[in-house]
Amino acid sequence: MKKMFIVIIVLGTFLIGVEAQKKMKPWTEWNLKDAQKMLDDSAWGQTQRETNTSEMFYTPTTRSGGGTSSDRTSQGATNQAVNVNYHIRFLSARPIRQAFARSILLQQKSPNAQLEEQLKGFAEQRTSEWIVVAVSYDSTDQRFAGTAMQLFNSANTGSLQNNTYLEVKDGKRIFLKEYRAPINDGMGAKFVFPRLVDGNPFITPESGYIRFYTEFTKDLKLNMRFKVQDMMYDGQLEY
């Protein structure tokens, strides 16, 4: 009887999950909040927040006698903790591209059939060759965002390829194939990895998790895990 009860509970949980998948709204019906959640807090998009507390407490920015002290005078003191948010997303996964497409469409002041058709193609296209991770950033203080911008814009494939990779649960890794610096598309930098290793998919339903890791400098390392079991979308594994 006890075993039967456990089976019923497990089956019920499974059915609830299936029902939740069935009730997911089509991306064309998402509101801006839905799209933003998909981009920043979902199975395919997460945010790594770095907090700088070096100027959290008030200290004068000038020396006695009118002299200046270090960078705080030239840059201005924040006197508070400053956050830099790094948004890490699987751009090769349809849900992320659908969220980008929906966000753009919702911000249009008037309908644009041509743009809508182009974005639909972008949102639904599939790739069998590459895994693309997009990373963008923002900050409560533009000076810190400016530092990130310099690092992202000056980086290249050669400087990143030995310390940028995707890793699965059994420890296997694939390293960066190509790095593309940010352009004016709102999606950030693109990290491109091969989808196949020896003719087989690097990521499978049995992979456990996918860890994205990159190291720009010793002070800027991005490290985020994504659960593979949560990356099912419309009955398919999306990444």
* 183-228 pLDDT per residue, tens: 999 999 999 999 999 999 999 999 999 999 999 999 999 999 999 9
Radius of gyration for the alpha carbons in the chain, expressed in angstroms and rounded: 22
User: Please, what is the average pLDDT of the chain?
Assistant: 85
Mean pLDDT of 150-158: 97
Instruction: Give me the amino acid identity at 160.
Output: L
Of all residues in the chain, the percent with pLDDT exceeding 70 is 79
The Cα–Cα gap between 189 and 55 comes to 28
Distant-in-sequence, close-in-space partners of 172: CB < 8 Å, separation ≥ 6:
202
The reported pLDDT for the residue numbered 135 is 98
Q: What is the pTM of this model?
A: 0.81
The reported pLDDT for the residue numbered 77 is 52
The Cα–Cα gap between 166 and 174 comes to 5
Higher pLDDT, 239 or 54: 239
Cβ atoms 84, 144 nearer than 8 A: yes
- C-alpha angle 70-76-81 in degrees, rounded to nearest 5: 100
Higher pLDDT, 5 or 82: 82
First-to-last C-alpha distance (Å) of the chain: 41
| pLDDT above 60 (res 158) | yes
Task: Read off the pLDDT band of 14 (50, 70, 90).
Answer: very low
- Cα–Cα distances (Å) from 141 to 81, 86, 148, 164, 171, in that order, read 10, 14, 11, 27, 37
- Cα–Cα distances (Å) from 181 to 47, 98, 134, 156, 187, in that order, read 19, 22, 10, 7, 10
Return phi, psi of residue 176, to 5°: -55, 135
Mean pLDDT of 17-42: 82
Task: Read off the pLDDT band of 18 (50, 70, 90).
Answer: very low
The reported pLDDT for the residue numbered 60 is 52
The Cα–Cα gap between 65 and 43 comes to 56
| pLDDT above 70 (res 162) | yes
| pLDDT above 90 (res 67) | no
| pLDDT above 50 (res 239) | yes
Task: Read off the pLDDT band of 51 (50, 70, 90).
Answer: confident
Least confident range from 71-75, 113-117, 196-200: namely 71-75
The reported pLDDT for the residue numbered 79 is 63
Task: Read off the pLDDT band of 23 (50, 70, 90).
Answer: low
**DSSP at 50:** E
Judged by DSSP in three states, 136 sits in: strand
DSSP 165-233: EEEETTS-EEE-SEEE---TTSS-EEEEEESEETTEES--TTS-EEEEEEEEETTEEEEEEEEGGG-EE
**DSSP at 29:** G
Task: Read off the pLDDT band of 142 (50, 70, 90).
Answer: confident
The Cα–Cα gap between 172 and 153 comes to 29
